[in-house]
Amino acid sequence: MQTTFPRLLLKHAAERPGAAAMREKEFGIWQALTWGELLAMVEQIAAGLHQAGLRRDQHMVVVGSNRPRLYATMLAVQSLGAVPIPLYQDAVAVECVFPINNADVCFAFAEDQEQVDKLLEVREQCPQLAHIFFDDPRGLRNYDEPGLVAIDELMAAGKVHVAQHPNFLKAQVEQAGPDDVAAMFFTSGTTGNAKGVVHTHNSLLDRARAGADFDRLTHAEEVLAYLPPAWIGQNIFSYAQWLACGYVVNCPESAETVMIDLKEVGPTYYFAPPRVFEGLLTSVMIRMEDAGSIKRKMFAACMDLAKRVGPDRMDGKQLGLGDRLLYALGDWMVYGPLRNNLGMSRVRVAYTAGEAIGPDLFQFYRSIGINLKQLYGSTETAVFVCLQPDNAARADTVGLPIAGVEIKVAENGEILVKSPGLLKEYFKNPQATAEVLTADGWYHTSDAGFLDAHGHLKIIDRVKDVGRIKGGANDGAMFAPKYVENKLKFFPFIKEVVAYGDGRAKVCVMINIDMNAVGNWAERRNLAYAGYTDLAQKPEVYQLIKECIEKVNVDLAADELLAGSQISRFLILHKELDADDGELTRTNKVRRGFIADKYLPLVDGLYGGKTEQFIETVVKFEDGRSGSVSATLRIEDSKTFAPVKAAA
C-alpha cells in the first residue's frame, strides 16, 4: 500500500468526515471524535509544532496512555515529516534518558503530571529537551518550567496559523513519501541499551493492510486500546490498522476501568496477552463457584459439552444434529451470557501473542464461541508474520505465513523472515542492524522453531537457549528448556519449572508447586501440612507432580523433534523462587544459570542418581533481613516413553 499515515487521515476525513474515528470515555459518557474533528485537531497541533520549531526528520517523544490527543500528536508529527517515538508510560525516568539522547529529541508530548515530572527529572541529562507539551493540566498549574506548555495553548497558536495558511497541512503531508521513516520504537533489550527500531510508513502500513486483509477487517470494527501505545502491538492495532481500515478506536477511562469499558464497548477486534485471558477465566470460575447449585450444574454440563464439540465447531467441522441442538441450547443458556460478561459478545477476531498460551485456556475461549487465535511477530517485523486462519487455530502453533512473508529455518533452527514489514534499521546502530538483517534481506528472529506438516509455524524456544542432549540413549537430540517448562507450567499445580539437559545425558527438572492450587488440593484430601516446604515434600504431592510430568512426557514422545527432551528425574524445591533472591527476573522469568549455580548440590543430586539431597539456602525477607532455609529434598524418577513415529 503506497501511502503514508497522514495521507490516510486526509482520505478518511474527506470520505467520511462525520464518522467516528475515536471514542473516549469522559465523565462517564463515551465521547466520539469524528474523522473531521480529528483532522482539525491534527492540523492545529501540527501548525503549533511547526511554529515551535519541529522540523522534518527530527524526533519527538510521546509518552502517555491511549488518548485521542496522543494519537493526534503522532499524526501531527508525521504530517510534518518528523518521527514520533512512543515511550512506555510506566518506564521510570532514567529509562527515558537513552532514547531521548540517542535520537537527540527536543520535543515531547506528555499525557499528565506524572509524565511531565518524569521528563523534567531527566532534563538535566537531556538539556536539548526544550519543549514539553502536556494534555491533562491537573496539578501542573503552579509549574514554572521553561518550555512547558499545555497542548491547548499549542493548538490555539496552531489555529491562528491554520487560519492564515489554510493549505498548511496538505502541503506538509505531500512532502513525505511512503519510504520515509514513520516511527521509531525502542525495544527493551535484555542486555545493554535499548535499540530504536526504525520503521517506514510503508513497512508499517503494508503489514497493517496484510493483517487486515487476512481477517477481512472493515471500517466497522470496534477496538479497545488499552495496552501501552509504545508497544508495537498496540500501535499496530490502534494506529496503523486504525488508519489503514478506518475503524473506531476506543480509549478506556483509566487503567482500572478497562474491564468495565470492554463490556460497554463490545469490541469486534480484540488483542490481549495470555495473562489477560487467564485473569478473565479465573474471575469467571471464582464467581461460578459462588453460584447456586443449579447454576453450577448447568454451567458444568454446558462446559463439558463445549469442551467436546466446541473446538470442532470453531474449526468449521460438521457436527451431528444432536450436538448442534445441544450446543444451541448451551449457547442460549451459558455461552452467550458468558461471552457477554467477558465483554466479547461481538468479538469477530481475537488474538493473543507474546508468550505461550495453555491449551486448556486457549480451547476454553474457542469452545464458547470466541474466535481466539494466535499470531507471531515482533517489533522488528511490524508484528504480522504468521497468523492463524479462523478454522485452524491451535494452542501450540502460531499460524501460517501471511501474504508477503517468506519464512526459512536456518541450520541452527533459527527462524528467518523476509517481509515488506521488516525494520529499516536500528537507529544509529549499524552493528546491531547487521547482526539481525543480512544483506540478502533476511531478518534473524533469534527464535527457534519449524514449520509443521500443515505449514504452520511452531516456536520452540529462543535459539540461544536451545541445547543438545549429550550421551545416553538420546544423544544429540534437541533440548528446548522453555518448551518443556511451559508445558509443565500449563498445569495449575505447577508454578515455576527449571529444566536442565543441555550437554547432559538426560533432562531433569526442579519444580515449584503452586501453593494455592496444591494447598487446595491437599485440603480436599485432608492432607495436613505446615507451610510450603512441608507441603512440597509430601509423597502425595510428589505423586501428583509425577503424573503431570508423565503426561508431558507422553506429549513429548509424540513429537519427533523433541522426544529426547522427555523428563527423567525431578525434585520439588523447598522454597519458592523469588526475584528478591535473584532467581527470577523482575518480569518473572527463571534465571536458569543462576539457579544452577545456587542449587549446585541439587543439580548434582539429580544427575548423580541420589534419592534425596540436603540443601541449605540463604533467603532475603521483604524487610531486607536474611535467613536460611534448609531441607532434605526427595528426588524421584519419572517414566519416559519411546518416541512415537508421526503417523501422518
Partner 1 sequence: MSEIKMTTEQKQFSAGPPQGSRSAAEPKLAPSGGSAVRAATSVGAKRIGDVILDVKNISLSFGGVNALTDISFDVREHEVRAIIGPNGAGKSSMLNCINGVYTPQKGEISFRGQTFKHMSSRQVAEMGIARTFQNLALFKGMSVVDNIMTGRNLRIKSNIFLQALRIGPAQREEETHREFVEHIVDFLEIQAYRKTPVGQLPYGLQKRVDLGRALAMEPQVLLLDEPMAGMNLEEKQDMSRFILDVNDEFGTTVVLIEHDMSVVMDISDRVVVLDYGKKIGDGTPQEVRENEEVISAYLGTSH
Interface residues with partner 1 (CB under 8 A) are 24, 26-29, 31-33, 37, 68-69, 135-139, 141-142, 144, 150, 152, 253-254, 256-257, 260
Round to whole Å and give the CA distance between 128 and 438.
35
CB of 94 to partner 1, least distance (A): 22
Cβ 530 vs Cβ 615: under 8 Å: no
CB of 154 to partner 1, least distance (A): 13
Nearest to 588 by CA among 256, 355, 272, 353: 355
Round to whole Å and give the CA distance between 157 and 151.
10
Collapse the DSSP code of 237 into the 3-class scheme (helix H, G, I; strand E, B; otherwise coil) and give the result. Answer: helix
Collapse the DSSP code of 414 into the 3-class scheme (helix H, G, I; strand E, B; otherwise coil) and give the result. Answer: strand
CB of 113 to partner 1, least distance (A): 10
β-bridge mates for residue 622, sequence order: none
Q: Which residue is it, cell 481500515?
A: 245
CB of 267 to partner 1, least distance (A): 18
Closer residue to partner 1 (CB): 69 or 123: 69
Closer residue to partner 1 (CB): 257 or 438: 257
Closer residue to partner 1 (CB): 24 or 425: 24
Identify the sign of the CA torsion 81, 85, 89, 93: negative
Cβ 62 vs Cβ 229: under 8 Å: yes
Specify the amino acid at residue 327: Y
Closer residue to partner 1 (CB): 21 or 122: 21
Q: Half-sphere exposure (CA, 13 Å, Cβ side) for 539? A: 1
CB of 594 to partner 1, least distance (A): 31
CB of 146 to partner 1, least distance (A): 15
H-assigned helices in 122-231: 151-164, 168-174, 201-214
Q: Which residue is it, cell 465521547?
A: 31
Closer residue to partner 1 (CB): 37 or 485: 37
β-bridge mates for residue 131, sequence order: 107
Nearest to 637 by CA among 571, 564, 544, 548: 571
Q: Which residue is it, cell 457477554?
A: 340
Collapse the DSSP code of 91 into the 3-class scheme (helix H, G, I; strand E, B; otherwise coil) and give the result. Answer: coil
CB of 152 to partner 1, least distance (A): 6
Closer residue to partner 1 (CB): 252 or 643: 252
Round to whole Å and give the CA distance between 366 and 309.
10
Q: Locate 46 and state its grid cell.
A: 501540527
CB of 137 to partner 1, least distance (A): 4
Closer residue to partner 1 (CB): 224 or 635: 224
DSSP character at residue 584 = B
Round to whole Å and give the CA distance between 132 and 109.
6
Closer residue to partner 1 (CB): 31 or 282: 31
Give whole-number Cα distances, 348 to 226, 236, 266, 365, 370, in Å. 18, 18, 10, 13, 7
CB of 228 to partner 1, least distance (A): 19
CB of 34 to partner 1, least distance (A): 9
Round to whole Å and give the CA distance between 366 and 381.
27
CB of 82 to partner 1, least distance (A): 23
Q: Half-sphere exposure (CA, 13 Å, Cβ side) for 36? A: 6
Closer residue to partner 1 (CB): 68 or 246: 68
Closer residue to partner 1 (CB): 28 or 627: 28
Round to whole Å and give the CA distance between 180 and 204.
11
CB of 644 to partner 1, least distance (A): 50
β-bridge mates for residue 614, sequence order: 632
Closer residue to partner 1 (CB): 33 or 497: 33
Round to whole Å and give the CA distance between 160 and 164.
7
CB of 66 to partner 1, least distance (A): 13
Closer residue to partner 1 (CB): 120 or 140: 140
Closer residue to partner 1 (CB): 137 or 266: 137
Full DSSP string of 477-531: -EE-HHHHHHHHHTSTTEEEEEEE-TTSSSEEEEEEE-HHHHHHHHHHTT----S
